[in-house]
Structure 1
């Protein structure tokens, strides 16, 4: 899901985000009202209260107001608290009344959370609730519906569809809007990628498969079955060629991580 940036002016930093930050996780909130993400962002940016958050998400949008390398005042654990100083804050909208708008907003929040986990290389253990940093019962509606349920939604978004063999050419996995092509054959995706500087090829699980540092492509039946290996190449095209020559015999091309990058 695209995160739309509407960043605050730097002259507001002293009030809204005075400290630089190297985030270590994500803190989830519910807004406790029925305003849209745009309304939440507008209000937060317009006042001089020491209350702030990085992203507001509703049923159709995710809007970022504060850079991820600046802190926000959201967790209620003080000026030196880990929540306020180390966590990216996400507000899920339409949580007062609930209903379809909130359900969709929460699903979008799970998508954005999964995108950020991939961006920073975190696992779902980095996803916290406001309640973890203070005694406030927040995110209240998400907690009422089940916190583990939300975490499972994030896990599902993070893991993707393991049956999705489409290779996507994008600037980053999180930036869906930058996609310039989707291919069932990796070689075609690589060709498209080479035409666009700064782009990469991602598999269906969001793992970057090209370009990457690969010393050898191995042609085997299974990654764990070393005895079935019939070739190892520094050039992917050569590995694909050998794999095609043995079409129907169960061979695939594996990279250094044991990831299948091509199957005949």
Structure 2
């Protein structure tokens, strides 16, 4: 199948479903991951599609926010590797914040083993996971309250006021996209404001983002790249992206997928 024929087929899938995943397209079309990514880049360049982590959406759905269940299926190996490394940065007794996101959710099973910590979160999924894995409440959990988004985030004035009254040692922040010019972004305006409140309450900001999020731009700005003290990603991050991040972030950590047990 020629490139043009593949792209026509991919565009048909986009129009049918509104979104496509790279992994599904490689199986559907019988070609490599890199071939599909090149085809998607062509569709993005033509204005027909917009890149999101793990795939693409139709161009008229730039502000679309995939649900938590969909996002949790994307880039699972990288997310678990990133979460595992991030958990090693937490000291016993620390007060930490976990933003909404599927990578921070992957941290939930790990933080319950760290003694004496307190977790502030605006994620119902994170709070539920900790409650399930820590039935005797060894980990203190503060849920911010607020209005729930499709990504299981609690946002809005209630969440923002709760967060503004707190101070945490570390924030582990999940983001929708990372871009050299746009910085860290999300499709949800209210979630962007709540994420900024989380950044303001933390002594150290640690962004968790797999490499597929590079070049993705959501509707709303969260913060510039320089707002992060640490970015943890996987070792598939492009060389140019690494250069940009190293110029603006104090520490960039790339974690090989093989670290997942």
More strand by share: 2
TM range (shorter): under 0.3
- Larger RCO (CA under 8 A, 6+ residues apart): 2
TM-score (norm 2): 0.25
